[in-house]
Structure 1
Amino acid sequence: MLVQLDGVSKAYGGQVLFRDVAWRIEPGERIGLVGPNGAGKTTLCRILAGLEEPDAGTVSRPRGSTVGYLPQEVGATAAGSVLAEALGGFEDVWRLEREMEEVAAALEATPTDALTARYGELQHRFDALGGYRLETEARAILTGLGFGATDLHRPLSEFSGGWRMRAALARLLLVRPALLLLDEPTNHLDLESLGWLESFLSSYDGAVVVVSHDRYFLNRMVSSIADLGPGGLTVYPGDYDGFLVEREARRELLEAQARNQAKRVAEIERFIERFRYKATKARQVQSRIKMLERLERVEVDDGARRIRFAFPQPPRTGRRVATLRRVRKAYGDNVVYAGIDLDVERGERVALVGVNGAGKSTLLRILAGVLPFDAGERTLGTHVEAHYYAQHQFDALDPGRTVLEELEAAAPDVAVTRLRTLLGAFLFTGDAVEKKVAVLSGGEKARLALAKMLVRPAALLCLDEPTNHLDLASREVLEEALASFPGTIVFISHDRYFINRIATKVIEVAGGALVPYPGDYDDYLAAKMRAAPAPAAVAGTAGRREPGPAPAAVERRRERGTGKPRVSPAVRELRRRLEEVERQIQALEARLRELGEALGDPALYADGERARAVTHEHKRAEEQVAWLMHEWESLSAELAAHE
């Protein structure tokens, strides 16, 4: 057992988040913590981490058990580089390394057997704590999470909150606590980094509790779902899809029990009413009154119910909905697109994918007509109007209006009953439609903005991360709405389940080029896997290819004349040099492992001269690896600039 909760309850300002939570987390478990926004998932994680105390109940942890917690938002940025942040969880190791350096300096000045023995002891401890592999592992994790080789020594303060979150995640993954608590870890990751994180966690030795609205991630990662609500916590075995099936089965069972109970209550109430004033039945009447008072009513959560809504039809268009020809866009010296072409046809649902910074949002905004471009043509088809949705759409909501008033302003000729039904489909039910926009959460504003867009749909919807701020229930609502939408959709999303549900085509944006793949996200992945494998990564940086070079299939298309020119001799030479440096690093790291094992053997220090020779060779090998890593970073940056 890693942590156990018994009767844990928590409230804020009189509002109960959850009560009587009983939960036992065992080593190696993979748990998805789900529940509606505001259910208290983050608070429960903080209680598990020991950062917050419950109002009632007990939290038990075995002595020596380690817990790591990644919050949704990082605090103040620490001084130092990205690599230093990732390595910052091992101060005891670095203190030991500093002592080793002091002893090594003393050895060089005055070699003695006592100093040699002391150095050997320190090296043995350093090796046992993983000191020789930590930087290599940190580089591998940071690369997997999307940092380029040239990013690792940049100050962390230069990066956005999302990238600082990745550095904080790298630090946690490197420490490897027995219990890893991740609160929305996928929010700031692109698709490539998500795939890497899944691969890393699949072989993680400890237990993992993850809060996520990413259904694809949950289905791949977890072995059970913990569903948090006001009444407590219910654990379901299996992945998220299995949880939905089991929850629906339980709800149907509860509904049947509630119907039977209601029928029985009605019979008892009729008996009481009929014989209330008959003296001969007084004892039986009182018995039934007490029976009703003691009866525990079966309650059914209607939150899982979905209101169906037939969205208005957009105008019918011709086959060609939108066209871009020879479009060029640059921000100063940074040329994002040098002359791209794009055709979008009626009924297509196109997902734009690619690493962060590839230019997806720029392309979507150009297509929607909200961003001017430097050269080229943008043409919309007959009867085509484009609607653009992004997070800044929240600013267009009037904070002084209610939810219903905001929708009425967007569609004044639509009946209020129909607007209420639409809002119900987006989870605004009952008095929620009278809430002021000013007090809505980010997720509620997102749902309202989407409802406003769909009550008057255009033939072309351009959606930039429409699932951001939406919990799982809200995402399902949006999926259903868009799946039945008869118009054309071009969208950006890091939600792979959402892409699979909606997309009929995937376009990869990479290196200023657009590469189409028919089908959904899984089809796209399969096509990528069928392409030639990526070149081997540098030892210690496996897990993610540096963004820049196109996949092999794309490279072949370009060389046939559909985009960039053939690979230049300069690029080929850079690649050859890079591969040679990689081979040298791999050989040296293998030798370092051998030397590390030798230094960890106490028998070595019986021969002082031999111990000094091995120590010296180990130090020289470390210096060579450091120099080669610097050379590799320089070559990688130069290659990226050429490509």
Structure 2
Amino acid sequence: MLTLQNLSIRAGVKPLLDSATLTVHPGQKIGLIGQNGVGKTTLFKTILNEVPIESGSVGIPQNWLIGSVEQEVSAKDINSLEYVTYGDSLYAESTERVKQAELANDNEALVSAYDGLDKISGYLVPNKAKQLLYGLGFSDADFEKNLSAFSGGWQVRLKLARALMQRADLLLLDEPTNHLDIEAVAWLEQWLKSYEGAVLIISHDRDFLDQVVQGIAHIHDQKITYYSGNFAAFERQRNEQLMQQQALHDKQKQQMQHLKSFIERFKAKASKAKQAQSRVKALERMEQVAAVQAMNPFIFKFLSPDHQPDPMMNITDLSFAYGDKSILKSVDLVLRAGDRIGLVGVNGSGKTTLLKQLVGELKPQTGKVIISKGVKIGYFAQHQIDSLNFDQSPLQHILAQENAPSDQESRDFLGQFGFSNTQCLEPIKAFSGGEKARLALAIIVYQKPNLIILDEPTNHLDMETRDALDMAIQEFAGAVILVTHDKHLLASISDQYWWVHQGKVTLYQGDLDGYLQQQLKAIKETQLENKVTRPGQSKKELRQQNAQQRRVLEDKIKPYQKEIKVLDKRMEQLQADLANYHAMMEDETLYDAANKQKLAECLKLQAGCSQELEEVEMRWLELEGLIEDIKAELES
């Protein structure tokens, strides 16, 4: 297992972790969370021995292989399939030995190299790589393309696929869902659920964490606190802690005020000097419990539009192509006032191209986009962030807007987006991606649009800013068109979905879960169509291999089913106990003064019973999910 023991690390002079502790067991999947800048990525670099440790230790079993996504593409002169397969280091070594033996015309070395390849089931590796690439949105035509032919976003996907190919005991994934579309995110969730190694994931996507992890490691105040369960369980536990912390803080404030009053009253009196002095020492010794700060420092809202034309936009017979490649064909759409549109479709299907048509950055080659009079669009996309003046401050950006507010009003406005007075005056070139994204959002909010178009707004945003954006859009009275891989945000905002697919844009008849299941089914069908067998393998051998794999999967289910039976009995008992405690508490005599101790005991037992029942139910659901995943694998 991986153990961080009293670990302290810095970024320059800034302390990030101070005596932090964490343990990651084999097969455990943990989400690593915390606000931007707390040291999550630096911690990964520390585990990979790329950053020095100030004090403490990182313990890694000698035989463990640590897998991660490489920062730069190591070689761009190979095709995508070879690049991904070489993520499996054993396969890469064996394949290189085969190539060297062939070049040297050394038959003995060649036999030995092929024997080594056979021992690691190397014949299965290219097929596994193809399955990964299909899941991440690549097609057969992409396999032979040189890496340099892919854009930056698609190269990020290739690096992720290469990392997933590693035979790692521990996989480190830093924001793996960035640059993925929501369909690929759904596929990645399923893949990680079945991954047998341990995984440590940095992510701000709450729904992704809910689906994948069984524990949360929260970095806060230079410490790491571990919470069992998914992100929803973390939020529940964290909120309970904060409420207790606030109550303790309030109580301590009263105690401290009492001590201060005594000291002030009696410090000048000789007869009370000793008691006053002891209270001074008590005040000094008292460990102050920090007051609970608002969990989210970002609270902003989109201003109510002055008016909302209806319809806001008519798109008729719109078509567009890049050269010979047709992107959109004969698109007909109507956007009504107050519509909440989730724009879905795999990367490359034309979502961003459609948005650029709507905001006028691209002109349709045929057809029209008719925008009603009075429509004011607020458009957020990555290139909008890149077009900010990096030599100017946030304050200068706001003061440059039409009908700009006063200097102080601008500072107050920027404060809602987490910019301090000092940051308001600093050039933004030194800002993080998240801070620049917040500034771009602030400018949109100030412009008071009645139509907001957001293209992947969450890529650089931490969880607190995402939550603030979610709340602001929900309260916004105008129309919204949203493209995002954040399932939580998309589901909470959208009331209908436009599906961009094969050049068409159609209204999807169903909810987001139904859409994603449809996409996963399509990916699975593509994977099944392209399964390969071992070279020279007969049909009989293939049937035997499939039967053996089926027996392995069936054996895997049995212990889960056995544990579920035990849990079923335990749940029945706990539910019966809980019903008894409820019946006891309906007895009015229990609340008499004479039964104070009995009441306290009953409340304690009830609370313990409720907590255990919740834990047992969570485990039952987890096991059911594992069994369903194995059954789905059996069916395939």
Fold equivalence (TM over 0.5) = yes
* Aligned residue number for residue 569 of structure 1: none
Counterpart among 493, 496, 500 of residue 491 in structure 2: 500
Q: Secondary structure at the match of 2:77?
A: coil
* Aligned residue number for residue 573 of structure 2: none
Check whether the contact 2:28–2:198 (CA below 8 A) recurs between aligned residues: yes
* Equivalences for residues 327-406 of structure 1 within 5 A: 327-406=318-397
* Aligned residue number for residue 274 of structure 2: 283
* Aligned residue number for residue 470 of structure 1: 461
- Alpha-carbon RMSD across the aligned residues, in angstroms, is 3.1
Give 1:587 deviation, angstroms: 9.7
The 1:533/1:399 distance shift into structure 2, 3 A limit, reads closer
* Aligned residue number for residue 555 of structure 1: none
Which amino acid letter does the alignment assign opposite residue 85 of structure 1?
Answer: Y
* Aligned residue number for residue 561 of structure 1: none
Provide the C-alpha distance between the structure 1 equivalents of 2:169 and 2:136, rounded to a whole number of angstroms. Answer: 21
Give 1:223 deviation, angstroms: 0.8
Q: Secondary structure at the match of 2:165?
A: helix
Give 1:126 deviation, angstroms: 3.1
* Equivalences for residues 35-434 of structure 1 within 5 A: 35-71=34-70, 73-88=71-86, 89-90=89-90, 91-95=92-96, 97-98=98-99, 106=107, 125-300=116-291, 302=293, 304-305=295-296, 308-309=299-300, 311-410=302-401, 412=403, 414=405, 422-429=413-420, 431-434=422-425
Check whether the contact 1:77–1:157 (CA below 8 A) recurs between aligned residues: no
Give 1:124 deviation, angstroms: 5.3
* Equivalences for residues 582-593 of structure 1 within 5 A: 591=538
Mean Cα deviation higher: 304-313 or 324-333:
304-313
Give 1:398 deviation, angstroms: 4.1
* Equivalences for residues 505-544 of structure 1 within 5 A: 505-517=496-508, 521-525=512-516, 536-537=525-526, 539=528, 541=530
Check whether the contact 1:503–1:520 (CA below 8 A) recurs between aligned residues: no
Aligned residues: 542
Check whether the contact 1:330–1:337 (CA below 8 A) recurs between aligned residues: yes
The 1:424/1:592 distance shift into structure 2, 3 A limit, reads farther
* Aligned residue number for residue 551 of structure 1: none
Q: Does 1:443 align with 2:444?
A: no
Provide the C-alpha distance between the structure 2 equivalents of 1:356 and 1:517, rounded to a whole number of angstroms. Answer: 17
* Aligned residue number for residue 634 of structure 1: none
Give 1:262 deviation, angstroms: 1.4
* Aligned residue number for residue 604 of structure 1: none
Provide the C-alpha distance between the structure 2 equivalents of 1:79 and 1:596, rounded to a whole number of angstroms. Answer: 39
Provide the C-alpha distance between the structure 2 equivalents of 1:148 and 1:34, rounded to a whole number of angstroms. Answer: 33
* Equivalences for residues 559-638 of structure 1 within 5 A: 591=538, 594=541
Q: Secondary structure at the match of 1:209?
A: strand
Check whether the contact 1:33–1:210 (CA below 8 A) recurs between aligned residues: yes
Check whether the contact 1:136–1:540 (CA below 8 A) recurs between aligned residues: no
Which amino acid letter does the alignment assign opposite residue 82 of structure 1?
Answer: S
Check whether the contact 1:143–1:541 (CA below 8 A) recurs between aligned residues: no
The 1:537/1:374 distance shift into structure 2, 3 A limit, reads closer
Provide the C-alpha distance between the structure 2 equivalents of 1:541 and 1:422, rounded to a whole number of angstroms. Answer: 55
Give 1:408 deviation, angstroms: 4.1
The 1:16/1:301 distance shift into structure 2, 3 A limit, reads farther
Provide the C-alpha distance between the structure 1 equivalents of 2:291 and 2:390, rounded to a whole number of angstroms. Answer: 34
Which amino acid letter does the alignment assign opposite residue 31 of structure 1?
Answer: I
Check whether the contact 2:378–2:447 (CA below 8 A) recurs between aligned residues: no
The 1:281/1:29 distance shift into structure 2, 3 A limit, reads same
Which amino acid letter does the alignment assign opposite residue 93 of structure 2?
Answer: D
How big is each residue's C-alpha offset from its partner over 1:181-230, in whole Å with a ceiling of 9 and x where there is no partner? 00111112222222221111111110001111222211111111111133
The 1:260/1:430 distance shift into structure 2, 3 A limit, reads farther
Mean Cα deviation higher: 327-336 or 414-423:
414-423
* Aligned residue number for residue 11 of structure 1: 10
Check whether the contact 2:134–2:523 (CA below 8 A) recurs between aligned residues: no
How big is each residue's C-alpha offset from its partner over 1:260-319, in whole Å with a ceiling of 9 and x where there is no partner? 111111111111121212222222222222222222211245251456545421132233
Give 1:178 deviation, angstroms: 0.4
* Aligned residue number for residue 28 of structure 1: 27
Gaps of 5+ in 1: 107-114, 543-584, 599-643
* Aligned residue number for residue 638 of structure 1: none
Check whether the contact 2:313–2:372 (CA below 8 A) recurs between aligned residues: yes
The 1:434/1:99 distance shift into structure 2, 3 A limit, reads closer
Give 1:417 deviation, angstroms: 6.8
Give 1:415 deviation, angstroms: 6.7
* Aligned residue number for residue 608 of structure 2: none
The 1:132/1:397 distance shift into structure 2, 3 A limit, reads closer
Which amino acid letter does the alignment assign opposite residue 199 of structure 1?
Answer: Q
How big is each residue's C-alpha offset from its partner over 1:72-117, in whole Å with a ceiling of 9 and x where there is no partner? x4255443121221222233322554588699974xxxxxxxx7xx
Provide the C-alpha distance between the structure 1 equivalents of 2:128 and 2:78, rounded to a whole number of angstroms. Answer: 18
Check whether the contact 1:139–1:540 (CA below 8 A) recurs between aligned residues: no
Mean Cα deviation higher: 471-480 or 131-140:
131-140
Provide the C-alpha distance between the structure 1 equivalents of 2:104 and 2:386, rounded to a whole number of angstroms. Answer: 61
Provide the C-alpha distance between the structure 1 equivalents of 2:129 and 2:404, rounded to a whole number of angstroms. Answer: 59
Give 1:167 deviation, angstroms: 2.2
Given the two structures, how large is their TM-score scaled by the length of structure 1? 0.77
Provide the C-alpha distance between the structure 1 equivalents of 2:513 and 2:477, rounded to a whole number of angstroms. Answer: 23
Give 1:364 deviation, angstroms: 0.6
Provide the C-alpha distance between the structure 1 equivalents of 2:281 and 2:258, rounded to a whole number of angstroms. Answer: 15
How big is each residue's C-alpha offset from its partner over 1:159-186, in whole Å with a ceiling of 9 and x where there is no partner? 2232222222222222220000001111
Check whether the contact 1:31–1:209 (CA below 8 A) recurs between aligned residues: yes
Q: Secondary structure at the match of 1:193?
A: helix
* Aligned residue number for residue 550 of structure 1: none
Q: Secondary structure at the match of 1:302?
A: coil
Provide the C-alpha distance between the structure 2 equivalents of 1:35 and 1:257, rounded to a whole number of angstroms. Answer: 24
Which amino acid letter does the alignment assign opposite residue 278 of structure 1?
Answer: K
Mean Cα deviation higher: 265-274 or 298-307:
298-307
Gaps of 5+ in 2: 546-636
How big is each residue's C-alpha offset from its partner over 1:24-80, in whole Å with a ceiling of 9 and x where there is no partner? 110111111111111111000111222222211111112211111125x42554431
Which amino acid letter does the alignment assign opposite residue 81 of structure 1?
Answer: N
